[in-house]
Amino acid sequence: MDNLKPGDTAPGFDLPDQNGKSVKLSDFKGRKLLVYFYPKANTPGCTIQSCSVSRAKDDFKSLGVDVVGISPDKPSGQKRFDKLFRLGFPLLCDTEHKVAGLYGVWTEKSFMGKKFMGILRSSFLIDGDGKIMQSWYKVSPGDTVPSAMGLLNKKD
């Protein structure tokens, strides 16, 4: 699959969050949305990324941006992660990797010579009409917030 780029329609999703509540892309119509994908809850890089987003959530909200994180974790794992770090925003459960596949982030990875399928840490800023404003593939855990804020502060 080709990478999503500015102007592309963001793939829809309907996934359970850490509390079992269904969350859809259409729930955010009329508002911007930062969607970030992370490999596994409560691992070092994912904790850095998620805590960074959590610390910035009020700044995002003041710019009219909601945030959601998506990983292959089950709701129980996401709930523990949310509670442990007091993240305070929806952590969506893509256990079948379908949404990750639509966004082009379910990919072959390699570690110590072994190949496996996994999440390519990435983030997407989506406008209120469901169009991709920007995509960042293979983003560093600490770069999700600065990248999105840099774009938002340029545009607003």
- Write out pLDDT tens, residues 72-81: 999 999 999 9
Residue 1 confidence (pLDDT): 62
Please state, in angstroms and rounded to a whole number, the distance separating the CA atoms of residues 128 and 107.
Answer: 28
3-state class (DSSP) for residue 95: coil
Residue 155 confidence (pLDDT): 52
Residue stretches of the chain with pLDDT short of 50: 156
For 14, 43, 78, 124, the CA distances from 5, given in Å and listed in that order, are 21, 28, 28, 9
The residues assigned a catalytic role are: 46
Residue 11 confidence (pLDDT): 98
Residue 156 confidence (pLDDT): 44
User: Which domains are present in the chain?
Assistant: 14-139 (3.40.30.10)
Measured CA angle at 90 (ends 86, 92), to 5 deg: 120
Tokens of 37: 């994908």
| Separate counts of helices (H) and strands (E) for the chain | 4, 9
Return the closest-CA partner of residue 4 out of 124, 84, 148: 124
Strands (E), 8-64: 14-16, 22-24, 32-37
